[in-house]
Chain A
Amino acid sequence: MTALVEQLKSGLDAPICLTWELTYACNLECVHCLSSSGRRDPRELTTGEAKAVLDELHDLQVFYINIGGGEPMIRRDFFELVEYSIAKGIGVKFSTNGAFIDGAKARRLAAMDYLDVQISLDGTDAVTNDAVRGNGSYATAIRAMDHLRAADFGPFKISVVVTRHNVDQLDEFKALADAYGAQLRITRLRPSGRGADSWHDLHPTNDQQRQIYEWLLAHGDHVLTGDSFFHLNALGDENLPGLNLCGAGRVVCLIDPIGDVYACPFVIHDEFKAGNIRDQGGFTQIWKSSNLFTELRQPQSAGACASCGSYDSCQGGCMAAKFFTGLPLDGPDPECVGGEGELALAGVAAGTTPRPMMDHSKPPPATPVSFRRK
């Protein structure tokens, strides 16, 4: 453990990696959506409130923000906010499904400095992708990528959530990214949002986890991961590139569309809510002195993992993954590569796992009901 990692665990003066979900509205209904997005929330921040947040982030010297949603481009002030942020010296990286990137928007995006675009794609073919992200979403993403290439955007990113069904496509994803002059980003599936219901069917098997680890050791220098696979470090002597720690509340946090601040993008639940930017003192006070973040910056107990020789490598894994599968936070990750997670999961009583909050899923389509007079 380096002194620097110890320092990072006790928190920074401002986040390194701040995610800001601009809206809960989305044109898609991905089965693993970490924010259960679908419908806009009437309490979402106004343009003025959003700009005030950016003013604060500027004063805190936040270098860049990760904008997501929902689908952030649905907001009518999307470009206004992005341009305001960049003018303030806050770089923007935003995630999109690409539905609203046409030729003109691609050219507008390409003309901006300090802007990165991340197109979400969960399969290298329509069948694999659309099973998770919805019918037509593969074609939509590819069309957006074509527009970005035609507009000479430069190296945009292709962002993949690794699942049981696309793990064999990692080489193909890399080839696809290379063909577009893009950069590949792969991240870990979490049981957050609607992912709580789909995780058991989608998360990689133990053998596949080794496959991911070995693939990242071979390609990791050219592939972004958001440092999300550090739980795999227990598989070998060599650590994957990146910070080997859970950054929740320490170097990372989430601002949700209504201004609630959570410890990370994967824990939208009251248990991990530190405050709301509309509160007195705003984001700055939440980051610097909220009870939750102060607590997360204290040394954490290894708990049941303390006797395991791999704890230094894997750090006990992901807090969100444990929480939404009903496991104690000071124990093994549900995907513990030593198999401890599987054992622990078997002991979780049915119906006792915490449910994700802030569900904005669209209502299911109406089914015809026939009434008959007696």
Chain B
Amino acid sequence: MIAVDAPSELLGRALTLHPQVALRPEPFGALAYHYGTRRLVFLKHPDVVRVVRALEHHDTVGDTFAACEIAPARHPAFLRALTSLSDSEMLRDRAG
């Protein structure tokens, strides 16, 4: 679980998909399944899937948004989605 005070704080963090999580592409986006917690989560937009997959290749969440060309107006919604994925342990902090 990642403690997040305000979603915007997430912009500076380095996140990655939890190693026990598998993503399966679906017409609406993707399904994420956590083999440890047995939780299933729906990623309801292809852009969210793109961002989630890209997280590990960029230093911060903010950099990932830039690289994926997510318009600033959409940042709050994406930060909420990523916060919820962190809360369910689908994402976790990347060491180093």
Contact = CB atoms under 8 A, between A and B. Distances in A.
Contacts of A113: 35
A13 B28 contact: no
B25 interface: yes
Interface stretch (B9-17, B36-44, B47-55, B67-75): B36-44
Interface string B1-32: 00000000000000000000010111110010
A14 B24 contact: yes
B28 A4 contact: yes
A215 interface: no
Interface bin, chain A: 10 to 19
Contacts, number: 36
B78 interface: no
Contacts of B44: 3-4
Contact of A91 (B25, B28, B31, B35): B35
B38 A91 contact: yes
Where chain B touches its partner, the secondary structure class is strand
Contacts of B33: 63-64
Residue of A16, A63, A116 ringed by the most chain B CB atoms within 10 A: A63
B26 A12 contact: yes
Contacts of B35: 63, 89, 91, 113-114
Interface in A1-46: 3-4, 7, 10, 12-14, 16
Contact of A61 (B24, B27, B28, B42): B24
A63 B24 contact: yes
A16 B38 CA distance: 12
A316 B35 CA distance: 33
Nearest to B27: A7
A63 B22 contact: yes
Contacts of B27: 7, 10, 12-13
Given A13-B24, A63-B33, A64-B33, A4 B38 contact: no
Given A63-B31, A89-B22, A91-B38, 11 more contacts: A4-B44, A10-B27, A12-B31, A13-B26, A16-B40, A61-B22, A63-B35, A63-B40, A91-B35, A113-B35, A116-B38
Interface of A: 3-4, 7, 10, 12-14, 16, 61, 63-64, 89, 91, 113-114, 116
